[in-house]
Amino acid sequence: MADTTIVLPVGHRAVVIGGGGAIGRACLRAFAAAGANLWSLDLDGAAAAAGLDGLGHGHHHAALDVTDRKAVADRAQAIGACDSIVYAAGLESDGDIVDLDWADYRRVMAVNLDGAFHVAAGFAGAMISARRAGSFVFLASMAGLRGEAGTSVYCASKFGVVGLVESFAAEMTPHAIRINAVCPGNVDSPMLRRITQSVTGRVGGDADELYESWSRYGAAQRMVTPREVADLCLFLASPAATAITGAAVRVDAGAMLYR
Ligand SMILES: NC(=O)c1ccc[n+]([C@@H]2O[C@H](COP(=O)([O-])OP(=O)(O)OC[C@H]3O[C@@H](n4cnc5c(N)ncnc54)[C@H](O)[C@@H]3O)[C@@H](O)[C@H]2O)c1
C-alpha cells in the first residue's frame, strides 16, 4: 500500500472510475492508504477487481460502461452517497483531422467526455440529497490545455472536460461539492506506450525511441508517475483542498514550460 501524509476523514467513501487502468489503480492505492472505503469501477470488471488487490477488505468493485448513461445512473444509485469521485476512465486517440475516422472520434468522445457528463449527473444527485460535502476529480490532460498535431480528438475531449469542470464547479458550489480537473503530462504508462506505437505506425520511426524522447520532454525532462497523479487526485479530494474548485491543475513535471 502506498504511504501518504494525507489522511481522509473516517468513513470517507471514494469511487474510482477507470479503477482498472494505470492511473485509476494508483488512485485506489493512494485513497486506501489515506483510509478511504473504495468502489473500483471499470469497463473491464476483472481489472476493476484487480485494482483492489492487496488493499484489504471492505472495498467493492463492479463492471461499468461509462458510455451507458442509464447504467451509470443505476450504479450511482446503488452505491449511494459518497464523498469523492475520481473519473480516470479514458481512451487515447491519434491521427490527423484530414484522415479522421468518425467512429474513432465518437468512441473517444463517448468515453472521455460523454462518460464524464454521465458520471457528473449520476453521482452528484446522491451527494446533494444526502447533504454531503464532496469532491469530483476528472482526469483531463495537458492535451486539455493546448492543442497538438495528430491529437485533435483527444485534445477536444480533454478541453471539453476542463469546460465541464468549470461549469459543474460553479453549479455545485452551493452544495459544498468541489469539482476539479487534473492535467497530467506524459505519464509512464501503457497508454503512452500505445500512443507511441500508433504514432510510429502512422508516420514511421521506432516506438521505443519515441517513448524515450517523450520521457525527456519539458523542463524537468522526465515523465510523471501514476503515483504522482494519484497523489494530486487525493489532495484535491481531501480537506486540505477545501478552497480549490473549478481548477485545472497540471501535474506534468514542467512539460508545458520551455527550457
Ligand atoms: N497515461 C498518460 O500518459 C495520461 C496522460 C494524461 C492524461 N491521461 C488520462 O488519465 C486517464 C487514465 O489514463 P491511464 O493511463 O490510466 O489509462 P489506462 O488505459 O491505463 O486506463 C483507462 C481505463 O479506462 C477504462 N475504460 C475505457 N473505456 C471505458 C468505459 N467505456 N467505461 C469504463 N471504463 C472504461 C479502461 O478499461 C482502463 O482501465 C485517462 O483519462 C487518460 O486520458 C493519461
> What CATH number has the domain bearing residue 40?
3.40.50.720
Whether residue 3 lies inside any domain: the answer is no
Distance between Cα 87 and ligand 1 center (Å):
9
**Residue 44: Cβ-neighbour burial (10 angstroms; 0-12, 13-18, 19+):** middle
**Does pLDDT of 32 surpass 60?**
yes
Average pLDDT, the chain: 96
**Average pLDDT of the residues in 60-87:** 97
Select from 14, 104, 113, 33 the least CA-distant residue to 66.
Answer: 113
Q: What is the pLDDT of residues 149-175, one digit of tens each?
A: 999 999 999 999 999 999 999 999 999
Ligand 1 pocket test: which of 27, 146, 148, 191 has the largest number of ligand atoms within 8 Å of its C-beta?
191
Whether residue 257 lies inside any domain: the answer is no
Whether residue 208 lies inside any domain: the answer is no
Q: Is 87 a catalytic residue?
A: no
Q: In which region does residue 177 sit, left (phi positive, over 0), alpha (psi from -120 to 50) or beta (all else)? A: beta
Alpha carbon distance 123, 112 (integer Å)? 17
Cβ atoms < 10 Å from Cβ of 48: 27
Distance between Cα 131 and ligand 1 center (Å):
30
Please name the residues in contact with 20: beta carbons below 8 A apart, sequence gap of 6 or more. 40, 42, 43, 44, 46, 47, 48, 50, 51
**Does pLDDT of 1 surpass 60?**
no
**Does pLDDT of 194 surpass 90?**
yes
Whether residue 117 lies inside any domain: the answer is yes
142: containing domain: 13-185+224-250
Reported confidence tier of residue 2, pLDDT bands at 50, 70, 90: low
Distance between Cα 145 and ligand 1 center (Å):
18
Whether residue 146 lies inside any domain: the answer is yes
Choose the weakest-confidence range: 86-90, 124-128, 203-207: 124-128
Residue 217: its pLDDT value, please?
Answer: 87
Distance between Cα 194 and ligand 1 center (Å):
12
**Is the beta carbon of 48 within 6 A of some atom in ligand 1?**
no
C-alpha 224 chain-centroid distance: 14
> From the alpha carbon of 184, which atom of ligand 1 is closest?
6
Judge contact between 60 and 14, C-beta under 8 A: no
User: How many independent structural domains does the chain possess?
Assistant: 1
Whether residue 194 lies inside any domain: the answer is no
Whether residue 90 lies inside any domain: the answer is yes
Alpha carbon distance 136, 215 (integer Å)? 29
**Is the beta carbon of 134 within 6 A of some atom in ligand 1?**
no
Residue 132: its pLDDT value, please?
Answer: 87
**Average pLDDT of the residues in 15-34:** 98
Ligand 1 pocket test: which of 91, 183, 188, 223 has the largest number of ligand atoms within 8 Å of its C-beta?
91
Q: What is the pLDDT of residues 199-233, one digit of tens each?
A: 999 999 999 999 999 999 889 999 999 999 999 99
Whether residue 131 lies inside any domain: the answer is yes
Judge contact between 248 and 183, C-beta under 8 A: yes
User: pTM of the entire structure?
Assistant: 0.98
Which of 87, 105, 154, 258 is labelled catalytic? 154
**Is the beta carbon of 224 within 6 A of some atom in ligand 1?**
no
Residue 253: its pLDDT value, please?
Answer: 95
Cβ-defined contacts of 56-63 (< 8 Å, 24+):
56/1, 56/32, 59/28, 59/32, 61/19
